[in-house]
Amino acid sequence: MSEEKKIPYKIYLEEKEMPDRWYNVRADMKNKPAPLLNPGTLQPLTIDEMKGIFCEELCRQELDDTTPYFEIPEKIRKFYKMYRPSPLVRAYCLEEKLQTPAKIYYKFEGNNTSGSHKLNSAIAQAYYAKDQGLKGVTTETGAGQWGTALSMACAYLELDCQVYMVKCSYEQKPFRREVMRTYGANVTPSPSNTTEVGRKILEEFPGTTGSLGCAISEAVEAAVSQEGYRYVLGSVLSQVLLHQSVIGLETKTAMDKYGIKPDIIIGCAGGGSNLGGLISPFMGEKLRGEADYRFIAVEPASCPSLTRGKYVYDFCDTGKVCPLAKMYTLGSGFMPAPNHAGGLRYHGMSSVLSQLYDDGYMEAVSVEQTAVFKAAEEFARVEGILPAPESSHAIKVAIDEAMKCKETGEEKTILFGLTGTGYFDMVAYERYNNGEMSDYIPTDEDLAKGLAGVPKFPGNEI
Ligand SMILES: *Cc1c(COP(=O)(O)O)cnc(C)c1O
């Protein structure tokens, strides 16, 4: 015990220990993620085709499977210094509560106004848009963290920011909406009648409370139909995982300082950006044969893309305006149950993580909503942080793994990503506290409906 107490509750890095480069895990993958395809020609998307939608430098990052490190521009490093390094916390109190011999660590990304890790990529994407001389960016937001993060980044760089917010969140989370507006963003509930694709979706699904896939379609349409605008995306894309590698790089440096080696690394997976970022440097070591770790992606049982989806090319959005990505997917038409709280509602998964999962480098589990909130409550009561429901998926599995250690007596080191705080999720907490929360698990028939919408072409059979 005394040996162990040398490790502080919080491990902070000095400014000079912060990473000055992002790490691109694709460089160390033998099987590269499949390229994005042009849905018209079914040929790999070229930089010229992408340039109309995304900023140029971000296109280059998206298509680069070989460069292991990208320098973080000075201006982004300065912004990072306002709210990073984020603490790596030893969960001594949780360990004690659980009476587990496991050593539990979490990397806490909720110490900024957006309340999540999303700011790490928002500032990068806004920076490259500004650098290219654009007027503004458009995007979608689900639970609201990404929209908030992007609003903050755009305010800092004086860029216009237009956010399409999934309607059920827009209504459930008026405070998130107002935070975005305070940072100067223009927020529209999606699906809306301000875009052609929004009007089409409303016609097909009257009364729908929206989905990330719908909101993406609207934001892309808004970007390509306005001069000087590009679209930015808060997750899923390989460029986002690249920016989020700052999480893993800081964690690795902090752990190395104290000679800590995690046995298990756990993260929640919506589109895969925080998990991809957290595991990147560790996965790099595993891919190069230098070390071994267990990686676990945790997803909601109500939106189980890795555990029950198919690994095929699919549209990234409901409106089918985006390129095709090969990923574990439930079909772009999959609409998660409205009773599901907050984020992690995306039908697909990062193509980097999909490939790593398919190659057996990573495991995935799905967990039910009420069990997730129970874990959130347990964590909040001993560790002091009120976690986001998304993050609580990782907490749930970290606790499960720690309890297994209690049975076996193994002193495993468990690391998980605590992606954010849940202050804007109190409606969901209220439902949990009132005993009104239910678990919804889609049936095979429900899933078949979504999967029926996967594009069919030779080599892309389900
Ligand atoms: C967006 C978000 C997630 C899920 O997104 P990923 O891209 O899978 O990381 C998880 N936690 C929080 C707090 C989020 O805001």
CB of 417 shorter than 6 A to ligand 1: no
Which pTM value belongs to this model? Answer: 0.96
Residue 212 lies in a domain: yes
Alpha carbons 303 and 285: distance in angstroms, whole number = 30
Which of 266, 273, 379 gets mutated to test ligand 1 (max ligand atoms within 8 A of its CB)? Answer: 273
CA of 16 to the centre of ligand 1 (A): 27
pLDDT in tens, 181-211: 999 999 999 999 999 999 999 999 999 988 8
Q: What is the pLDDT of residue 146?
A: 95
pLDDT in tens, 78-125: 999 999 999 999 999 999 999 999 999 999 999 999 999 999 999 999
CA of 206 to the centre of ligand 1 (A): 28
pLDDT at position 4 over 70: no
CB of 391 shorter than 6 A to ligand 1: yes
pLDDT at position 343 over 90: no
CA of 121 to the centre of ligand 1 (A): 12
Q: How many residues does the chain have?
A: 462
Amino acid at 175: F
CB of 388 shorter than 6 A to ligand 1: yes
Strands 21-23 and 69-71: antiparallel
Domain match, 338 and 439 both = yes
CB of 372 shorter than 6 A to ligand 1: no
Give the atom of ligand 1 at the shortest distance from the alpha carbon of 244.
9
Q: Could you tell me which residues come within 8 angstroms of residue 138 by beta carbon, excluding any fewer than 6 positions away?
A: 162, 163, 164, 219, 220, 222, 223, 226, 229, 230, 231, 232
Number of structural domains found in the chain: 2
- 274-295 average pLDDT score: 98
- Tokens 């590698």 belong to which residue? 245
- Domain carrying residue 224: 23-71+118-231
Alpha carbons 370 and 353: distance in angstroms, whole number = 26
Question: For the CA atoms of the chain, what is the radius of gyration?
Answer: 21
Domain match, 293 and 408 both = yes
pLDDT in tens, 210-248: 888 789 899 999 999 999 999 999 999 999 999 999 999
Residue 410 lies in a domain: yes
Alpha carbons 429 and 433: distance in angstroms, whole number = 6
Domain match, 271 and 391 both = yes
pLDDT at position 2 over 70: no
Lowest mean pLDDT across 205-209, 287-291, 332-336, 351-355: 332-336
Decide if 299 contacts 305 (C-beta within 8 A). Answer: yes
CA of 214 to the centre of ligand 1 (A): 18
pLDDT in tens, 246-265: 999 999 999 999 999 999 99
Alpha carbons 121 and 372: distance in angstroms, whole number = 26
CA of 17 to the centre of ligand 1 (A): 25
Residue with CA closest to ligand 1 atom 4 = 270
CB of 421 shorter than 6 A to ligand 1: no
Residue 237 lies in a domain: no
Tokens of 341: 């709280």
Q: Could you tell me which residues come within 8 angstroms of residue 265 by beta carbon, excluding any fewer than 6 positions away?
A: 278, 279, 282, 293, 294, 295, 296, 415, 416
Domain match, 63 and 147 both = yes
Strands 10-11 and 21-23: unpaired
Tokens of 62: 């998206």
Mean pLDDT (the chain, rounded): 94
pLDDT-based confidence at residue 344 (cuts at 50, 70, 90): confident
Domain match, 294 and 434 both = yes
Q: Where is the domain boundary, 189, 204, 231? A: 231
Q: What percent of the chain has a predicted confidence (pLDDT) above 70?
A: 98
Residue with CA closest to ligand 1 atom 7 = 273
CA of 363 to the centre of ligand 1 (A): 18
Domain match, 315 and 214 both = no
CB of 144 shorter than 6 A to ligand 1: no
Domain match, 287 and 384 both = yes
Q: Where is the domain boundary, 231, 257, 289? A: 231
CB of 274 shorter than 6 A to ligand 1: yes
Q: What percent of the chain has a predicted confidence (pLDDT) above 90?
A: 88
List C-alpha distances in Å: 292 to 253, 263, 264, 265, 281.
Answer: 17, 8, 9, 11, 12
User: DSSP H helical segments within 52-173, as ranges?
Assistant: 56-63, 74-83, 92-98, 119-131, 145-157, 167-172
CATH number, domain with residue 33? 3.40.50.1100
Residue 78 lies in a domain: no
pLDDT-based confidence at residue 318 (cuts at 50, 70, 90): confident
Tokens of 282: 């560790």
Domain match, 262 and 161 both = no
Q: What is the pLDDT of residue 211?
A: 82
User: How deeply is 259 buried, as exposed, middle or buried, from its count of CB atoms within 10 A (0-12, 13-18, 19+)?
Assistant: exposed
Q: How many CA atoms lie within 13 A of 406 on its CB side?
A: 13
Residue 238 lies in a domain: no
pLDDT-based confidence at residue 1 (cuts at 50, 70, 90): very low
pLDDT in tens, 143-161: 899 999 999 999 999 999 9
CB of 150 shorter than 6 A to ligand 1: no
Domain match, 225 and 365 both = no
Q: Where is the domain boundary, 231, 264, 290? A: 231
Domain match, 258 and 379 both = yes
pLDDT at position 340 over 80: no
CB of 271 shorter than 6 A to ligand 1: yes
Alpha carbons 425 and 173: distance in angstroms, whole number = 8
pLDDT in tens, 395-438: 999 999 999 999 999 999 999 999 999 998 998 999 999 999 99
Domain match, 105 and 140 both = no
Alpha carbons 220 and 212: distance in angstroms, whole number = 12
Q: DSSP letter string over 232-250? A: --SSSSHHHHHHHHHHHHH
Residue 357 lies in a domain: yes
pLDDT at position 275 over 80: yes
The region, left, alpha or beta by phi > 0 then psi within -120 to 50, assigned to residue 41 is alpha
Residue 458 lies in a domain: no
Residue 125 lies in a domain: yes
pLDDT at position 288 over 70: yes
Q: Could you tell me which residues come within 8 angstroms of residue 211 by beta carbon, excluding any fewer than 6 positions away?
A: 166, 318, 334, 335, 336, 345, 347
Q: What is the pLDDT of residue 189?
A: 96
Domain match, 138 and 30 both = yes
Alpha carbons 457 and 459: distance in angstroms, whole number = 6
